[in-house]
Amino acid sequence: MEICIVGTGYVGLVTGACLAEIGHRVVCVDDDREKIATLKRGELPIFEPGLDNLVTRNRGAGRLSFTADLKEGIEAATVIFICVGTPPLEDGDADLSAVEQVARRIGELSSAYKLVVEKSTVPVQTGMWIEKTLKVYGGGVNERFDVASNPEFLREGSAVEDFLHPDRIVVGVEHPRAERLLRELYEPILHRAFTCPIHSKCEKVRPVPFLVTDIKSAELIKHASNSFLATKISFMNSVADLCELVGADVELVAEGMGLDRRIGRAFLNAGLGFGGFCFPKDLQAFVKIAEKCGYDFGLLREVDRINQARIAQAIKKLKDQLWILKEKVVGVWGLAFKPDTDDVRYSPALALINRLLAEGVAVKAYDPKAMERALQQLPSLVCCQNPYEVASGADALVVATEWKEFANLDLTRVKSLMRRPLILDGRNLFDRQKMKAMGFEYLAIGR
Helix, coil or strand: residue 289:
helix
Please tell me which residue in 83, 278, 383, 384 is annotated as part of the active site: 278
Residue 153 phi, psi dihedral angles, 5° rounding: -115, 10
Please pick, from the candidates 102, 148, 311, 445, the single residue that binds ligand NAD as defined by CB under 6 A. Answer: 102
Q: Which residues between 154 and 183 bind ligand NAD (CB under 6 A)?
A: 154, 156
Closest separation in Å from C-beta 330 to ligand NAD: 29
State the pairing for strand pair 114-118/64-67: unpaired
Which residue number, 313 or 377, has a Cβ lying nearer to ligand NAD? 377
- Helix, strand, coil share (%) of the chain residues, nearest 5: 45, 15, 40
Classify burial at 298, counting beta carbons within 10 Å of its beta carbon; exposed 0-12, middle 13-18, buried 19 or more.
Answer: exposed
Closest separation in Å from C-beta 214 to ligand NAD: 20
**31 C-beta neighbours (distance < 10 Å), count:** 17
Closest separation in Å from C-beta 109 to ligand NAD: 12
The answer to whether 138 contacts ligand NAD (rule: CB under 6 A) is no
Q: Is the dihedral of CA 244, 247, 248, 249 positive or negative?
A: positive
Our CA angle for 335, 340, 343, nearest 5°, is 50
Please pick, from the candidates 4, 5, 10, 18, the single residue that binds ligand NAD as defined by CB under 6 A. Answer: 10
Which residue number, 85 or 387, has a Cβ lying nearer to ligand NAD? 85
Q: Is 278 a catalytic residue?
A: yes
Rg (CA), the chain: 23
The answer to whether 29 contacts ligand NAD (rule: CB under 6 A) is yes
Which residue number, 244 or 282, has a Cβ lying nearer to ligand NAD? 282
Which residue number, 21 or 156, has a Cβ lying nearer to ligand NAD? 156
Residue whose C-alpha is closest to residue 127's, from 223, 32, 209, 31: 223
Task: In whole angstroms, give the CA distance from residue 147 to residue 118.
Answer: 8
Contact 293, 128 (CB under 8 A): no
Query: Which window, 29-37, 127-135, 388-396, 421-429, contacts ligand NAD (CB under 6 A)?
Result: 29-37
Query: Which window, 1-9, 126-134, 413-421, 426-434, contacts ligand NAD (CB under 6 A)?
Result: 1-9
Contact 290, 303 (CB under 8 A): no
Task: In whole angstroms, give the CA distance from residue 363 to residue 330.
Answer: 5
Q: For ligand NAD, what does the binding mask look like between residues 243 and 282, x meaning CB under 6 A?
A: ----------------------------------xx----
The answer to whether 85 contacts ligand NAD (rule: CB under 6 A) is yes
The answer to whether 11 contacts ligand NAD (rule: CB under 6 A) is yes
Query: Which window, 28-36, 165-173, 184-192, 364-372, contacts ligand NAD (CB under 6 A)?
Result: 28-36
By annotation, the residues acting in catalysis are 278
Q: Kindly list the residues in this chain that would bind ligand NAD in the complex (CB under 6 A).
A: 6-12, 29-32, 35, 83-86, 98, 101-102, 120-121, 152, 154, 156, 277-278
